[in-house]
Amino acid sequence: MLLYIIIAFLFVVYFAIGVMLYKRRTERNIKSRSPVLIYITHWSNLIETLLAIPILTPKDFNLYDLDYYENRLYQDSALISHYLVFFPYILRCYRLYFVFHLDKDWEIQNNMFKENIHRTRQRWLVKMLCFCMIPIILISVVFLFWPNASEIFPLNLSRPSNNGIDIPDCVYIMACFTEQLVLIIGIYLIKDVSDDFNMSNELIYVGFIWFLTPAFSIYIRSYQIVWGIPYILRNILLMLRSSLVPIICSYFNKPLFEPLTIEMLNSLELTLQNAATLEAFEEFLKLEELTTTKSFGSINTGSGLSLLEFYLKCRLFANNGSSQLAENIFSEYLENKVVHIPAEIYLEIEDGDFTDANLFNKAESVVIEKLKSYFYPKFMASDQYLFLKRLIHRQEIYQFRLMQTSLHEFQINEHKKMVVECDDWPVPTLD
């Protein structure tokens, strides 16, 4: 009775999540994952789970009383549904790798991508899924019509065994090993892929969850409940991560992607407004400070890192107007002579209103000029700058690929600014 309740409960949960997947199919968090493959995985997962539960206690479900064709059809259904869960994950791994992977030969790879762009589309992925399922269907047909196939096919419900490992067990273990090997290769290929919706993290998670069942594969017929519980648990975890989590995440707005451009690198002001360029500039200043702090002090320039920190804190003060923050800035950087500014500006700040958002405007201008005239030219000849240029080139290739594989539409964000949205693919985040 308990198992029937569990079956009914799981059916309701899977059905509800499946309906939500369909309703949210146009959301980027789901659309970027290839909705058709998600549907196939989700419903095949349900079928496989419902077929696996009776195997826990075959006698209670009268599985041993099935006639020849009922037995074979039951097992064929389990086999087909299993690989309709497995193959879509592999195809999604391939799609991620094909779009986001770049190595040293960028231009060659980009030309290959242009020539094979059809591989990123759902229609091609579904065709490949059908192609992958051909051998599985052939095996199912052979098993259905060849009586002796039961001697090599696992999950033979009419012949329970506790005599140790035999041919069906070996076949099952080999199949599990092959699945693990393919998943390991897929995980390795996408391990460095970065995307806004963590699809690579999802597939890596799937790979580790998939390893639950092979550990108990030797009990497939001798101790079916020991094999079946991890098997069912694995499917439920896969459903939660691949179906439910994307639905939940689709209700949360993602921040708009902020692309890098060469023009940004030519301007200090723009460099300080982007997280990636600011981080690179800060790293450069830290390295400079280790070797040239004394030299900077002798020419009354001050530490570049201190100048940057002073400027950023002044910007923070201008936004929130905290008098406590103003006092901290004055005492830490100006009063202690960490940042050097003209005496008249220093006195003006000292006698000024510490709640005035414009209190440090003149000091900011002096600091920006020092950073721009002395430090930024050196930054433009640094390894950090070259890294950013390479990152921009890489990003441009990504953007081109995404535009070629996506449906585009213009949407107005909450600030009424016009931005381009990629419906089918997320924009890659910066590492």
Q: Where are the CATH 1.10.167.10 domain residues in the chain?
A: 276-420
Q: Is it the case that residue 268 has pLDDT exceeding 60?
A: yes
In CATH, 2-249 is 1.10.3470: no
pLDDT of residue 339: 86
Residues 300-317 have a mean pLDDT of 80
User: How far from 312 is each of 273, 309, 343, 360, CA to CA, in Å?
Assistant: 10, 5, 22, 11
pLDDT per residue over 14-67, tens digit each?
999 999 999 998 887 888 788 999 999 999 999 999 988 887 777 766 766 677
237 neighbors 230 (Cβ within 8 angstroms): no
User: How far from 269 is each of 125, 186, 206, 276, 407, CA to CA, in Å?
Assistant: 45, 42, 43, 14, 34
pLDDT of residue 64: 62
Tokens of 20: 């939500």
pLDDT of residue 402: 61
List, as one string, the DSSP characters of 367-387: HHHHIIIIIHHHHTTSHHHHH
| Bigger pLDDT: 251 vs 110 | 251
pLDDT of residue 397: 65
The region of weakest confidence among 47-61, 69-83, 89-103, 409-423 is: 409-423
Q: Which residues are within 8 A (CB) of 61 and not within 5 positions of it... i.e. 6 or more apart? A: 3, 54
pLDDT of residue 407: 36
What is the rounded average pLDDT for all residues in the chain? 78
Q: Where are the CATH 1.20.1070 domain residues in the chain?
A: 2-249
pLDDT per residue over 212-231, tens digit each?
776 555 555 556 677 778 88
pLDDT of residue 73: 85
Rounded Cα distance between 86 and 154, Å, is 18
349 neighbors 333 (Cβ within 8 angstroms): no
Q: Is it the case that residue 316 has pLDDT exceeding 80?
A: yes
402 neighbors 425 (Cβ within 8 angstroms): yes
Tokens of 381: 């000849």
CATH of domain 276-420: 1.10.167.10
| Residue 244: closest CA among 30, 89, 93, 37 | 30
Give the model's confidence band at 426: pLDDT under 50 very low, under 70 low, under 90 confident, else very high. Answer: very low
Residues 8-15 have a mean pLDDT of 95
pLDDT of residue 404: 58
pLDDT per residue over 334-360, tens digit each?
888 888 888 888 888 888 777 777 778
Q: Is it the case that residue 90 has pLDDT exceeding 90?
A: yes
CA 49, 51, 56: angle at the middle one, nearest 5?
A: 90
Judge if pTM exceeds 0.95: no
38 neighbors 21 (Cβ within 8 angstroms): yes
